[in-house]
Amino acid sequence: MTSSALTGNTSGLASATSPGLVGITTQTFAGAKTFNSGVVIGGNTTADANLGTISSVTNSAYYEGSLSLTFTGPYSQTVTVKYVKTGSMVVLSIPGLSGTSTSASFFTSSTNLPTLLRPTILLTAPCLVNDAGAAQSAPGQCTVNTTGQIQFFKNFSGSGAFTATGSCGGFFPSISYVTF
């Protein structure tokens, strides 16, 4: 098969050393490839604009990248959340929040996690919190719900609001969970 009209004087299928057409047989391609939209490998999309920046895709079940989330509540702060998803296992690394409180409330992400990173059940984990300028002796609560919203509370009961004055925030561990 001659494909000169499509690939510029190249005959046959593409290979690791030669440009050409993409066929239904096994092929290996050389060099970096750029796609303007998602790529599907084995039924899994490996590039999704909702995932933010994907820095590495080694197979159809591995995703690594970062995205920006803005938390509102006692004050507003935007952080870069890093993630890794391998199969159905997700690990989120959320930087700590720190600022001066202007309202008695808890922190809520104003943007939800993309569908690929959302848990299938409500997740609850302890976290270290600072309120009214002091580290709290009891843990606070971090939740990730099925819509992808993340919340941080002063108390582990999930009902505690941070004080309306002074510095507050939290130091959050990496959060790991499965999505099945």
Share above pLDDT 90 across residues of the chain, in percent, rounded to a whole number: 53
Mean pLDDT of 67-91: 93
| CATH T-level assignment (fold) for domain 41-178 | Immunoglobulin-like (2.60.40)
pTM of the predicted model as reported, rounded to 2 decimal places: 0.68
Of the candidates 146, 88, 85, the residue with the CA atom closest to the CA atom of residue 119:
146
Torsion of CA 20, 23, 25, 31, to 10 degrees: 40
Q: How far apart are CA 113 and CA 177, in angstroms?
A: 14
CA 42 to chain centre: 21
pLDDT tens, 39-69? 555 444 544 555 555 545 544 578 899 999 9
Torsion of CA 85, 90, 93, 98, to 10 degrees: 130
Domain locations in the chain? 1-33, 41-178
Q: Taken in order 42, 93, 156, 101, is the CA torsion positive or negative?
A: negative
pLDDT tens, 86-126? 888 999 999 999 999 998 899 999 999 999 999 999 999 99
